[in-house]
Amino acid sequence: MFWTNIKRVIKAGFISFWRNGYVSLASVLVMIVTLSVAAAMIFVGALLHSTLDGIKDKVDVNVYFVTTTAEDQIVSLKNSIEAQPEVATVTYTSREGALDNFRKKHANDQLTLAALDELNDNPLGASLNIKAKDPSQYQSIASFVENKAASLSPESSIIDKINYSENKVAIDALNRIIDSSNKIGLILMAFFIFISILITFNTIRLAIYISRDEIAVMRLVGASNMFIRGPFVTVGLMYGGVSAIITLLLLYPITFGLGPLTEKLGTGLNVFDYYISHLVEVSLIILGAGLLLGAISSFLAVKKYLKV
């Protein structure tokens, strides 16, 4: 008997969904917009974090030494840095190596090479390239290097420059962009969720008004509360489910078209590949959000306008 009633409730919900086609279409379209915004937030977040990860992978700390720094001091500092648990690798480039690299980099710039040959001495200092296990640890590494270098040579600094601050600006700027985009996305989501609930709420309310005679008859014949309320809740769930399915279908051609563009922008991520590889997760999020929106809207409308 229980399952028979469930089948009847679902069937009645389907009939109501198709009978009120235009109002159902309005609710579905608004929910599609809302779920599309949710999907856009997922993809934008993935793009921004992929860009940030790409920058972080390229970020390192380069320590440039003054030309008069003794090699044993540099080696001592290198050994101390390598002993730090947050450090992944430390690469030493001697003054001669730095000069060779400079010549290779400017192999086609004869004027620069000629000016370099006029010098009696190598103007370049040695350097250390430091890679951290976690990009967030570069600040502490840079501070350690400065303090350790000061202890090795208290009378004069052996370090010419540490480039950490230059890279930190780029990372902090991108982090701010991510935070701002998340806040804007949440505001948009909240707005469209409110609109979706409002329209679905009024759609269910209209359906209740249209079916008022049927509801009165069901009350007279002793229909249960579940049988009276169930079809309207089913309609709300259908709004959410249909909207989610349509949104997921629309995402396929949209991400397919945008995929090459996002890859060319230097984000390191093709949104189409991301969509396909995370299809299950994205589908569960969109479908769950759609059903939840429909359930909340219909529940509120039934509770307020259908007194049984």
Same domain, 191 and 285: yes
* pLDDT score for 4: 62
| Dist. CA 211–CA 35, nearest whole Å | 29
Say what the pTM is: 0.66
pLDDT in tens, 117-129: 777 778 888 889 9
Q: How confident is the model at residue 113 (pLDDT cuts 50, 70, 90)?
A: confident
Same domain, 31 and 83: no
> Given a cut of 80, is residue 132 above it in pLDDT?
yes
Give the dihedral of Cα atoms 131, 133, 134, 138; nearest 10 deg.
Answer: -40
Q: Is residue 61 part of a domain?
A: no
* pLDDT score for 214: 65
Same domain, 141 and 184: no
Task: Please identify, among 157, 188, 221, the residue that sits at the C-terminal boundary of a domain.
Answer: 157
Q: Is residue 215 part of a domain?
A: yes
> Given a cut of 80, is residue 208 above it in pLDDT?
no
Same domain, 112 and 201: no
Over range 274-293, report the average pLDDT: 90
Q: Among 13-17, 200-204, 249-253, which stretch is predicted with the lowest mean pLDDT?
A: 13-17
pLDDT in tens, 288-305: 988 888 888 877 777 766
Same domain, 51 and 189: yes
Beta strand spans in 109-213 (E)? 127-132, 159-162
> Given a cut of 60, is residue 1 above it in pLDDT?
no
Same domain, 126 and 244: no
* pLDDT score for 41: 83
Same domain, 233 and 294: yes
Q: Is residue 6 part of a domain?
A: yes
| Dist. CA 221–CA 208, nearest whole Å | 18
Task: Please identify, among 126, 157, 188, the residue that sits at the C-terminal boundary of a domain.
Answer: 157
Which range marks the domain in which residue 95 is found?
Answer: 67-157
**Total tally of structural domains belonging to the chain:** 2
HSE at residue 38, side-chain half, CA atoms within 13 A, is: 25
Same domain, 205 and 122: no
